[in-house]
DNA sequence: TATGAATGAGGATTCATTCAT
DNA sequence: GATGAATGAATCCTCATTCAT
């Protein structure tokens, strides 16, 4: 029988299929509430098949995070600042990066829910998530330090604190934007990634007093 | 047999004791990982005793959140702005409120971990947590609106968005401050509530460009 | 309801009941083939009840062995030789001890099957069994050494080797005697403990050439 | 694709290879703990390949025992007594046979561990092992009967009992000799087959009192 | 109020075996 | 002959909850 049926994924694709299904289930239902039987049920394979591809429930989660982390960091790291510029340049650069990040989040909302959501599980998993977030924050830190080096930001500021504040801001924005059901009536729903990036960048540099 | 033994807490206190123990366990281990047997073990009572005071594991969690929410909102709502003032007044007022909030968080870190952490569980529980956070965010919103009314902030700003950004900022700061082990090497550890409040308020109003 | 029903064992007896049932099942079916559901089924209790009394399947096995080991060693150690005597004394003393041992084995055949049978399981369990057998062999060793001290046996003999040979003899005899189905048509079935003890003691001291 | 790769064993040899690997695994880890995946893993072939050569896990075990049994019995049966002789002759003949047996055991320790060890499994398998041991015991029985016929041993002795005792002795000696790790500090470790055979034969005929 | 034994549904994981290629 | 992906029955153990005393 040729492997041309529609909803079956072939060969090396089974692994992918299971990861995709698991990602969605983990994001929507949470780690604990997601049963292996749910995952294989969605995939239309037997329970044992899962264990051909993954050592355990924890293992597939970790792998999902690991893969997502790489993609996410690639998005943030791109566009590292090279030359000095005006304040406007700086705001625009930040806006561009945030825009890329929000677009990525929009396209990978289940992954973002895993990373930013409040559904985690075992110590190992929590650690993997925390690591990923730290890596993100670090990317922001590097950008701020570079801007100081180029004398675009005042030298006096506490860079680690500021990158923490920035990361907090962004986590909150993405959460409210994508998981609206959890944050009804917030100020971000319905906005485009572009709009959000502009507003966030403005707040980042000028605070509440910036128009 | 009368309950007059030395290290037992009497009637009305048992409930409190169980809630305190459960709060700590939930915060440290997470909802799922916390077993009723852990709670009663810590309390030194029998398994069945738990169910005399609480309908279920979910019920005690909900009650803990409910109680904490009231205290938390009391802290935030106090100091609602009455009269107009200078920008400096505004920053100082915000700083004062943040300082109260951070002090409360410091004194109630387990509760904050439940509210801000990433360990939640059933739909009902997640909802209770989300409600509490929304209520917090609303308190910020009212303050911003009042400041606009008093012409202390530009009318043009999107108030809901700004309160979301503010809430994000504060959530992130508190998380990094109290749950350091999860966010090693961030820029907030070791700071006092007062210092943090000052820095956060500055960022709130002036952004990265403020000195 | 008074706890006077016939086939239910009360209070602290549940543990005993489960151990007795498990002992029999382990002996007859083997460790792996014995399911927890078999044990609780025989006991007429729910699956979870088992885990109220024992940490795991392995744990109950280990406990059974441990308990049996103490009884067994008590039987062997009694009658440690004090004074010198004739060869006949020595043979009779050995016969008496073997007789006690065989009677114990007869009354505790399931335990003996666990210890001497070929049904063991996890490393921990195999170790516990091996330990018990070594302890038995040691008891024989002490007796032989004492007999040499009293000049009842020639000094030249290799005591450890001889106690190994003796233990081998006894293990084989008990196995063949109690688990006849596994050794059909051997020379011990149907004999009394007394007869067996006499024959074994004779062989022990005089070998094949003894009448 | 022809099976001409370098480290692959061709057609008829694959079966042998699998049996050898399985023998070792069964002996070392036990029947239950040995997984088909272990066997094929060691052999470097795919899981399915196993089932081209053997009907089941049980089947390969049975086949291993069957093959070993024939070799073992050949060793014991050789040297059946023809003519009468002195007691010394008899002891020497026994010693010679035991020496052959111990040498065989030394060269086939995995097989002996299967036969004498305490790791067996299904009823069918246990039966096959028991049969083999009975066959061994029978060989000893024939020898004793022949010795009586030739008036080298007293007529009065219970031949079946004595062959059981003899078999017990030998089983114990071999176990302690080869599987030292299970019987630490026994009196046989480090001895040569020749030495053991001499000591055992002496005990066989003269008991503890023989020098 | 308090106890603690009992319940039983539920879920992760294992592994011998099958089979299309 | 050989592959390796797929199967699914089997089983241990967990833990929230109940209830007789």
**What pLDDT is attached to residue B119?**
64
Token pair 């943040």 is at which residue?
Answer: B98
From the C1' of E15, which residue's alpha carbon is nearest? D35
Asked if the model's pLDDT at residue D76 lies above 90, the reply is no
B211 and A154 within 8 Å at the Cβ level: the answer is yes
Q: What is the mean pLDDT of chain D?
A: 87
In a domain, B5, yes or no: no
Helix (H) or strand (E) holding C5: none
**What pLDDT is attached to residue A34?**
96
B164 and A187 within 8 Å at the Cβ level: the answer is yes
Q: Does B192 touch chain A (CB under 8 A)?
A: no
Number of structural domains in chain B? 2
Q: In chain F, which nucleotides are within 7 Å of a protein Cβ?
A: 1-21
**What pLDDT is attached to residue B85?**
79
**What pLDDT is attached to residue B118?**
65
Q: Does C132 touch chain D (CB under 8 A)?
A: no
A171 and B168 within 8 Å at the Cβ level: the answer is yes
Token pair 């246990």 is at which residue?
Answer: D126
Of C134, C161, C175, the CB nearest to D183: C134
Residue C119's pLDDT band, with cuts at 50, 70 and 90, is: low
What is the C-alpha to C-alpha distance for residues C147 and C155, in angstroms, rounded to an integer? 9
What is the C-alpha to C-alpha distance for residues B36 and B23, in angstroms, rounded to an integer? 12
Pair A98, A189 in one domain: yes
Q: What is the mean pLDDT of chain B?
A: 86
Asked if the model's pLDDT at residue D97 lies above 50, the reply is yes
A164 and B172 within 8 Å at the Cβ level: the answer is yes
Distance F12 C1' – C24 CA (angstroms): 20
D208 and C157 within 8 Å at the Cβ level: the answer is yes
Share of chain B above pLDDT 90, in %: 45
Pair D85, D142 in one domain: yes
User: What are the tokens at A135?
Assistant: 């890596």
Pair D114, D43 in one domain: no
Asked if the model's pLDDT at residue C184 lies above 70, the reply is yes
**What pLDDT is attached to residue C9?**
41
- Rg of chain D over Cα atoms, rounded to whole angstroms, equals 20
| Stretch A165-191: mean pLDDT | 86
**What pLDDT is attached to residue D65?**
94
What is the C-alpha to C-alpha distance for residues D94 and A4, in angstroms, rounded to an integer? 73
- Taking the CA of residue A33 and the nearest CA in chain B, the distance in Å comes to 9
pTM to 2 decimal places: 0.87
| Stretch C97-113: mean pLDDT | 94
C173 and D176 within 8 Å at the Cβ level: the answer is no
Distance E20 C1' – A145 CA (angstroms): 59
- Range of the structural domain that residue C22 is part of: 13-54
**What pLDDT is attached to residue A118?**
66
Q: Does A145 touch chain B (CB under 8 A)?
A: no
More confident residue, A9 or B63: B63
Identify the closest residue of chain C to D87 by CA–CA distance. Answer: C209
Least confident segment among B74-78, D118-122, D190-194: D118-122
Least confident segment among A109-123, B184-198, C77-91, D58-72: C77-91
Distance F17 C1' – A109 CA (angstroms): 37
**What pLDDT is attached to residue D209?**
74
pLDDT tens for B17-43 read 999 999 999 999 999 999 999 999 999
pLDDT tens for A76-91 read 887 666 777 788 888 8
User: What are the tokens at A47?
Assistant: 């329970």
Asked if the model's pLDDT at residue B1 lies above 60, the reply is no
CATH number at residue D16: 1.10.10.60
Residue B9's pLDDT band, with cuts at 50, 70 and 90, is: very low
In a domain, D197, yes or no: yes
Query: Whose CA is closest to C205, among A131, A169, D209?
Result: D209
Pair B96, B30 in one domain: no
What is the C-alpha to C-alpha distance for residues A181 and B131, in angstroms, rounded to an integer? 11
In a domain, A2, yes or no: no
C near A: at least 3 beta-carbon pairs less than 8 Å apart: no
Pair B136, B197 in one domain: yes
Q: Is C192 left (phi over 0), alpha (psi -120 to 50) or beta?
A: beta
**What pLDDT is attached to residue B5?**
42
Asked if the model's pLDDT at residue A2 lies above 60, the reply is no
**What pLDDT is attached to residue D54?**
97
- Taking the CA of residue C54 and the nearest CA in chain D, the distance in Å comes to 23
**What pLDDT is attached to residue C84?**
74
User: Are residues C102 and C174 in contact, defined by beta-carbon separation less than 8 angstroms?
Assistant: yes
Pair A123, A23 in one domain: no
Give nearest nucleotide to D34 (CA–C1').
Answer: E15
Least confident segment among A20-24, A96-100, D65-69, D81-85: D81-85
Pair B78, B128 in one domain: yes
What is the C-alpha to C-alpha distance for residues A172 and A165, in angstroms, rounded to an integer? 11
Residue B68's pLDDT band, with cuts at 50, 70 and 90, is: very high
What is the C-alpha to C-alpha distance for residues B187 and B112, in angstroms, rounded to an integer? 19
What is the C-alpha to C-alpha distance for residues C51 and C36, in angstroms, rounded to an integer? 10
| Stretch C33-43: mean pLDDT | 97
Pair C25, C82 in one domain: no
**What pLDDT is attached to residue A48?**
97
Residue B89's pLDDT band, with cuts at 50, 70 and 90, is: confident
Asked if the model's pLDDT at residue A119 lies above 70, the reply is no
Residue A11's pLDDT band, with cuts at 50, 70 and 90, is: low
Asked if the model's pLDDT at residue C82 lies above 90, the reply is no
User: Are residues D156 and D133 in contact, defined by beta-carbon separation less than 8 angstroms?
Assistant: no
Least confident segment among B143-152, C149-158, D118-127, D199-208: D118-127
Asked if the model's pLDDT at residue A65 lies above 50, the reply is yes
In a domain, C120, yes or no: yes
Asked if the model's pLDDT at residue B183 lies above 50, the reply is yes
**Per mean pLDDT, which of A137-151, D80-94, D101-115 is the most reliable?**
D101-115
What is the C-alpha to C-alpha distance for residues C200 and C22, in angstroms, rounded to an integer? 32
Determine the 3-state secondary structure of A210 from DSSP.
Answer: coil
Asked if the model's pLDDT at residue A111 lies above 50, the reply is yes
Identify the closest residue of chain A to B204 by CA–CA distance. Answer: A207
Distance E16 C1' – A127 CA (angstroms): 37
Report chain A residues whose CB lies below 8 A from the CB of B91: none
Q: How far apart are the first and last CA of chain A?
A: 65
- Rg of chain C over Cα atoms, rounded to whole angstroms, equals 20
User: Are residues A206 and B207 in contact, defined by beta-carbon separation less than 8 angstroms?
Assistant: yes
Q: Does C167 touch chain D (CB under 8 A)?
A: yes
Asked if the model's pLDDT at residue A9 lies above 50, the reply is no
Q: Which of residues 69-108 of B touch A (CB under 8 A)?
A: 87
Asked if the model's pLDDT at residue C211 lies above 70, the reply is no
Residue D14's pLDDT band, with cuts at 50, 70 and 90, is: very high
B112 Cβ neighbours under 8 A, 6+ residues apart:
B105, B174, B178
C164 and D182 within 8 Å at the Cβ level: the answer is no
Token pair 């069957």 is at which residue?
Answer: D66
More confident residue, B11 or B27: B27
Residue D3's pLDDT band, with cuts at 50, 70 and 90, is: very low
**What pLDDT is attached to residue B158?**
86
- The answer to whether the Cα torsion of D161, D163, D167, D173 is positive or negative is positive
**What pLDDT is attached to residue B6?**
42
| Stretch D114-132: mean pLDDT | 84
Pair B50, B125 in one domain: no
What is the C-alpha to C-alpha distance for residues A91 and B51, in angstroms, rounded to an integer? 57
Report chain A residues whose CB lies below 8 A from the CB of B161: 186-188, 199
Pair A78, A135 in one domain: yes
| Stretch D170-194: mean pLDDT | 86
From the C1' of F18, which residue's alpha carbon is nearest? B48
User: Are residues A88 and A201 in contact, defined by beta-carbon separation less than 8 angstroms?
Assistant: no
User: Are residues A174 and A186 in contact, defined by beta-carbon separation less than 8 angstroms?
Assistant: no
Pair C172, C101 in one domain: yes
pLDDT tens for B120-164 read 678 888 888 888 988 889 888 888 888 888 888 888 888 888 889
CATH number at residue C124: 1.10.357.10
Size of interface A-B (CB pairs under 8 A): 152
Asked if the model's pLDDT at residue D7 lies above 50, the reply is no
User: What are the tokens at D49?
Assistant: 């390949």
- Taking the CA of residue B149 and the nearest CA in chain A, the distance in Å comes to 15
Distance E14 C1' – C27 CA (angstroms): 24
Asked if the model's pLDDT at residue B96 lies above 80, the reply is yes
Pair C70, C145 in one domain: yes
Q: How far apart are the first and last CA of chain C?
A: 65
């Amino acid at each position: 029988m040729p492997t041309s049926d529609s909803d079956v994924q072939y060969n090396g694709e089974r692994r992918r299929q299971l990861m995709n299904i698991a990602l969605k289930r983990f994001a929507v239902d949470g780690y604990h509430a997601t049963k292996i039987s749910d995952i294989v049920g969605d995939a239309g394979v037997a329970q044992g098949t899962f264990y051909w591809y993954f050592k355990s429930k924890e293992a597939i989660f970790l792998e999902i995070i690991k893969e997502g982390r790489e993609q996410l960091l690639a998005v943030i790291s791109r566009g590292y600042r090279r030359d000095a510029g005006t304040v406007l340049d700086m705001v625009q650069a930040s806006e561009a990066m945030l825009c890329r990040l929000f677009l990525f989040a929009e396209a990978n909302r289940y992954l973002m829910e895993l990373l930013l959501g409040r559904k985690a599980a075992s110590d190992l998993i929590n650690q993997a998530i925390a690591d990923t977030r730290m890596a993100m924050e670090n990317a922001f830190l590097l950008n701020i330090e570079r801007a100081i080096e180029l004398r675009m930001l005042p030298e006096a500021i506490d860079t680690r604190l500021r990158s923490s504040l920035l990361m907090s801001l962004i986590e909150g924005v993405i959460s409210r934007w994508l998981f609206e059901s959890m944050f009804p009536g917030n100020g971000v729903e319905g906005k485009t990634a572009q709009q959000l990036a502009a507003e966030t960048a403005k707040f980042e540099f000028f605070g509440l007093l910036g128009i």
